[in-house]
Amino acid sequence: MARNIYLPLARQHVRAGSRWMHEAGTDYWLMPAGGAVTDPFGAASTATGDELAENGWTCTSLVNTVGSAGDLLGGVPAATPADAGVPNHALGNATGDLLVSPVLFGDYGHALMAANIAGKKRLPNRLVLEAYAAFTVATADEPTSGFGFFEDATTTTSATEALQLAFISSNSANFELNTNASTTLTDAGAAVDNAWHRWKIELLWDTAGVVRANWYIDGSHQGYIVPTNDEAPYAFGAHNLTTNRLGLGWVHIYYDWK
């Protein structure tokens, strides 16, 4: 009997964004430092190795922002927190603010590595991005202001729509998921607001053999798009254009077996 039938799934967490390109794992975390002495979103420096820009990321002009005004655990326990406040986050507060990770995720080799770490004989069948984030300004139709997965050709020009694989933004009225600069490969979701939400993008092959990107806001399924194929491996990224602004809290990217 294969041991993965009776043993629990072994997950390996890479717990700092600065380690993404240096460590193998099933789960990858990005955590804002909340105004700590070491600013992970700062310029590359010889003083410390913790800056993302020293570890394969593009990181342009983001503000490492301290959280505030939240109750303990978000308030009295409830399905929706009564007073979550503002978390530690990276604030995009100017035109051209850009964050792009190393190009790592979603290809056969990276998925095979995750399967070996997890003790699984089969590849994962989902690549998932979860984030706690807010569009602090969402009044413009700006498909390049937001966050999500970028394609394999990602460079510092990742702000362009053509490099988006599955990217959440605002069209001024609704949040939407976009891919590849296409007006037909767009799915509109909930009405825009400026609140902090739990966002999720889930990439998988559907039963018809088509790549699908499902997306969720606070656990509510918004819909899906069909991203272009032949674009792995992917990068995580976020960008501000002219008007809309993003506050990015923690990010969790992981492989899953279902």
Quick check: 249 pLDDT over 60? Answer: yes
Residue 113 binned pLDDT confidence (cut-offs 50, 70, 90): very high
Closest CA to 243 of 88, 92, 108: 92
Q: For residue 228, what are its two tokens?
A: 């272009």
143-169 per-position pLDDT tens digit: 999 999 999 866 555 678 888 999 999
Which pLDDT score is estimated for 1? 45
DSSP codes joined into one string, 125-149: SEEEEEEEEEEEE--SEEEEEEEEE
Could you tell me the domains of the chain? 12-69+87-256 (2.60.120.200)
Closest CA to 124 of 103, 105, 96, 147: 105
Q: For residue 197, what are its two tokens?
A: 């939400």
187-242 per-position pLDDT tens digit: 999 999 999 999 999 999 999 999 999 999 999 999 999 998 899 999 999 999 99
Quick check: 6 pLDDT over 90? Answer: no
Closest CA to 12 of 20, 129, 132, 4: 20
